[in-house]
Amino acid sequence: MADPSLLGAEHTKLLGTISTRSVGKTGSLAGGAVSGSFLFFFSLGYGSAWLRPIFAKPSAWRILEAVIAIIMWAIAAKLVLGD
């Protein structure tokens, strides 16, 4: 599993890169980042409780992992082949 402190550093770099495109809109960017983060973690907490019965079955995990693998292969193909 990835080190959580490294994940925070990556998010900081990503937000820093995005912020260079929106000069003069730092308040909107900060508000969007804060509200997006809150929504993500709020949904993660309630979603996990709601999905717990579904993911009690091993087949649900296999399906989830297959979907993630397909998405990752699609991203890799796009990176290799270009736009």
Domain span at residue 83?
A: 53-83
Average pLDDT, the chain: 81
Q: Are residues 4 and 22 in the same domain?
A: yes
Q: Are residues 41 and 75 in the same domain?
A: no
| Residue-wise DSSP of 54-81 | GGGSHHHHHHHHHHHHHHHHHHHHHHHH
Which pLDDT score is estimated for 70? 97
Q: Are residues 57 and 39 in the same domain?
A: no
pLDDT in tens, 7-45: 555 555 666 666 667 677 777 777 888 898 899 899 988
Q: Are residues 42 and 62 in the same domain?
A: no
Which pLDDT score is estimated for 19? 65
Evaluate if residue 66 carries a pLDDT over 60.
yes
Q: Are residues 36 and 16 in the same domain?
A: yes
Evaluate if residue 5 carries a pLDDT over 70.
no
Distance CA 51, CA 46 (A): 9
Q: Are residues 12 and 36 in the same domain?
A: yes
